[in-house]
Amino acid sequence: MAFLLSRRGLTLATIAVVLTVACVLLGLWQMDRYELRQDRNSAVTTALDAPSVPLSDVLPAGGPLPDGAEWRTVVVEGRYDPSAQVTLRLRPVDGQAGLQVLTPLVQPDGTAVLVDRGFLPTQQAGQQVDVPEPASGTVEVTGRLRLSETGRGSGIDVDSQPPSIRFVDLESLGGELGLDLAPVWVERLTQTPPDPGEIAPIPAPTLSAGPSLIYSIQWFLFGVIAVVGFVVLARRDSRSGTADTDEVPDPAAPTSA
- Convert the pLDDT of each residue in 172-201 to its tens digit: 888 888 899 999 999 999 999 999 988 999
- Confidence at residue 115, expressed as pLDDT on a 0 to 100 scale: 97
Task: Kindly give the pairing relationship between strand 53-54 and strand 73-80.
Answer: parallel
Task: For helices 212-240 and 7-49, give the axis angle rounded to 10 degrees.
Answer: 170
Residue 166: partners with Cβ closer than 8 Å, 6 or more residues away: 88, 89, 90, 151, 153, 154, 157
- Confidence at residue 135, expressed as pLDDT on a 0 to 100 scale: 94
- Confidence at residue 71, expressed as pLDDT on a 0 to 100 scale: 93
Q: Are 172 and 151 in contact (CB under 8 A)?
A: no
- Confidence at residue 29, expressed as pLDDT on a 0 to 100 scale: 93
Give φ, ψ of 223 to 5 degrees: -65, -40
- Confidence at residue 248, expressed as pLDDT on a 0 to 100 scale: 46
- Confidence at residue 107, expressed as pLDDT on a 0 to 100 scale: 94
Indicate left, alpha or beta for 118 from its phi (over 0: left) and psi (-120 to 50: alpha).
left
Give φ, ψ of 236 to 5 degrees: -65, -45
Give φ, ψ of 96 to 5 degrees: -90, 125
Q: Which residues of the chain have pLDDT under 50?
A: 243-248, 257
Q: What is the DSSP string of the chain?
A: -HHHHSHHHHHHHHHHHHHHHHHHHHHHHHHHHHHHHHHHHHHHHHHHHSPPEEHHHHS-TTSPPPTT-TT-EEEEEEEE-GGG-EEE-S--BTTB-EEEEEEEEE-TTS-EEEEEEEEEE-SSTT---PPPPPPPSEEEEEEEEEE----TT-SEETTSSS-EESS--HHHHHHHHTS-EEEEEEEEEEEESPPSS--BPPPPPPP--TTHHHHHHHHHHHHHHHHHHHHHHHHHHHHHTGGGGGSPPPTTS----
- Confidence at residue 136, expressed as pLDDT on a 0 to 100 scale: 92
**Nearest of 191, 203, 246, 187 to residue 3 by alpha carbon:** 246
- Confidence at residue 250, expressed as pLDDT on a 0 to 100 scale: 53
